[in-house]
Amino acid sequence: MNELNLTDALEEYALAAPHGFGGQILRQMAEKYPQFAADLQDFAVACAVVKYAPETEISTEDEARYRQIGKENLRAVLSESSASLESLTDAAKAKGLNRSKFANALGLSVSLVQYLEKRRLDFATIPQNVIAKVAEVLETGENLVANYLSQSPVSAANMSFKATTRPEELKPKSFAEAVREDQQLSNEEKRRLLEL
């Protein structure tokens, strides 16, 4: 049997995924041809960029940015089981956003960002639009953001305090309750968030 070359492997991927990117197909091909795994990933990213790129001409900088986003999303898909967010605000810092800029980009207050960071909101009450916006700003998958937010609240049990007794763990609030109580948001901002 002839040894498969890179061109043959790329053609096989293109035939198996005729509509552009196919995550499952890519994983299977990478397992089948581990020597070409990196080349197959690059090819899959290029296919996705071509498929989803706007028809109008884009600048070289935008193309590089889209390519980078595509690669990051591909990495997230390929390592979905092991990938996770450790902190929303740390991920925002990696994008050059402090808490205030991160909150502004999300259309939330800094205190609501803290609720999200500490997972102090009942996950079932967080609007999908908020999860999608966090993913967009952090340039990551919505599933990674949802996985982060659905974990147990950050516990105060391992923190040190000056008081002799530890504070009681508070029950997570609903998103709507946190918005209504927020003192940083205007009435108009509260109304917009409550309508999500």
* Residues of the chain above pLDDT 90, percent: 39
pLDDT of the residue at 142: 87
Q: Could you read off the pLDDT of 147-182 as tens digits, one per residue?
A: 899 998 886 545 555 666 665 667 899 999 999 999
Q: What is the pTM of this model?
A: 0.55
The amino acid sitting at 15 is L
Instruction: Give the chain's mean pLDDT.
Output: 83
Average pLDDT over residues 16-25: 73
**Please, which pLDDT band fits residue 2 given cuts at 50, 70 and 90?**
very low
Closest CA to 70 of 48, 93, 87, 43: 48
Domain ranges across the chain:
6-78, 88-194
What CA–CA distance (Å, rounded) separates 156 from 159?
5
Amino acid identity, position 66 = Y
Condensed to tens digits (0 to 9), the pLDDT of residues 105-135 reads 999 999 999 999 999 999 999 999 999 999 9
Q: Exposure of 51 by Cβ count < 10 A (0-12 exposed, 13-18 middle, 19+ buried)?
A: exposed
The SS3 of residue 121 is strand
At residue 1, the pLDDT reads 35
